[in-house]
Each structure stands twice: as structure tokens, then as C-alpha cells.
Chain A
Amino acid sequence: MKKDPDQEVDKELQFHLEQRSRDYIAAGMTPDAAREAAAQRFGDTERVREVCTSALAAVRAADERRRFRWLLLDAFSLDACVAVRMMVKSWGLTAVAGSAIAVAIAIGASFFEVVGGFLDPVVPLPQGDRIVSPLPSRCWRR
């Protein structure tokens, strides 16, 4: 379980100050003087805490986004695997479905060709498709 960013930064800075105090005590200072000297040496604890907390929060948010992207990719790849496996397993159905799609596309394409030829004819000249009518289509229809 992860701690809150501000708690984590607090614990880290606290460890630093305690270590420093211990060194000062070992060098002969009284515990109170050591604590005070450690804090003084550290400087603006409040500002450091603020900067570090917001940096840690940003890192956590970026990690979360990254994790979510992987999760999504994972789910999609699982779906794709299952789809391929099922298609291989019932290959007959896959063949029927595949040819049905092919026929449908062929019908659609030829229909489009016929309708297109009728509604938007190409003049039988070299680069005939570049010839346009200067009249607005409303006049042309009349």
C-alpha cells in the first residue's frame, strides 16, 4: 500500500534530520542542540517539502496513466487472441462469413460504379474526368 505523497516526503526528510542529529550528538552536542543544528543546516524545510510533494504527486499520476494504458492494451490483445483462436477453431463459419463479406463488398462496389457512371459521367476524352461544367448544378438539372 502506497503512502500519500506528503506523508512519504515527510518520512524521508524526517529520516534525514534524525541521521544528522545523531551525527551531531555523536560529535558531542546535546540532543536539543543537535536537533536545532540539523534543522538549521537543512534550511527551508517547508519549501523543500512542498516542491518534493508536488513532484512525487506528478510522478504517481504519470505512473498511473502508464499503468492504465498497459491495462487497456492488455485487454485488447486478449480480445484479439480470442477472436483469432475462435476463427481458426470454426474455420467453416469463418470461410462463410469471409465470402459473404467479399460478395457484399463486390455488390456494393459495382452498384456504386453503375450509379456513379450515371450521375457523374466521365466525358470520353483524354483526362475526361478533369472536364467540369461552369454552370451551377441547379441550372444543369433543369
Chain B
Amino acid sequence: MFSKRDAVLQGTLELLVLKRLSRGPMHGYGIASWIETATEDALRVEEGSLYPALYRMVQKRWIKGEWRITENNRRAKFYRLTKAGEREFEAQASGWLRLSKAVSRAVTSTDLP
């Protein structure tokens, strides 16, 4: 199930995108690169699933896309969080922390019946 470089699981991808955008607007390529560096290359973004996920999130009105000029003077579509997206991020982040803490507690538990 967990190989060295895992494809980001569907729900996790949304959470990671929300996290990156909570720090400010970014384009799809920047989001993909950030996920790889932030997870120290442990997670590799399936680029083919990143964009459908972004558009799904636009449809849910969590994020909004707008065209801007990058620092290299190129036009790129930057995404930013909406108010609903900020709320979603808070909810998903605390849910994830609860779940991961519970699972690691169970996995490392030494007291078995």
C-alpha cells in the first residue's frame, strides 16, 4: 500500500491544495512542486489528477482561478482560497490530524489482548 514515493490519495490531494493556497495564490505547477518539496519528495503528485481536482474544487467554490503574470513574465492561472475554502481547510485539517493521530496510536500500540 505505501511504496516509497506514493501517489497522493484523492482526499489528501484536496487537503494539500487547500493548505498551499491558505498561504497565498499559486498556479497548478507551483502547487504540484510545493507538495513534492513540502513532503520531502515522499509524495508525488499525479499531474493528470491535479487539474481535475482543482476544477472540482472550483466547482465546489472552495477556490477561484484568475489569470496573472508570473515573476518570469508569463501568464498563468493562479488559484486562491475563497471564504468557503478557508472554512473547508480548517475542517479538513483538523479531521486529518485527528484521524492520523488515532491511526498511528493504534499502529504503534503495544498493548494487545
Contacts and interface: CB of A to CB of B under 8 A. Distances in A.
Partners in one complex: yes
Interface of A: 8-9, 11-13, 15-16, 18-20, 41-45, 47-48, 51-52, 55-56, 58-59
B48 A43 contact: yes
Contacts of B108: none
B58 A55 contact: yes
A16 B76 CA distance: 9
Contacts of A43: 46-48
A48 B52 contact: yes
Contacts, number: 56
Interface of B: 27-29, 32, 46-48, 51-52, 54-56, 58-59, 74-77
B29 A15 contact: yes
Given A11-B77, A15-B28, 5 more contacts: A13-B51, A15-B76, A16-B47, A52-B52, A55-B59
B74 A15 contact: yes
Contacts of A18: 74
B77 A15 contact: yes
Given A15-B29, A16-B29, A41-B47, A55 B52 contact: yes
Contacts of A8: 77
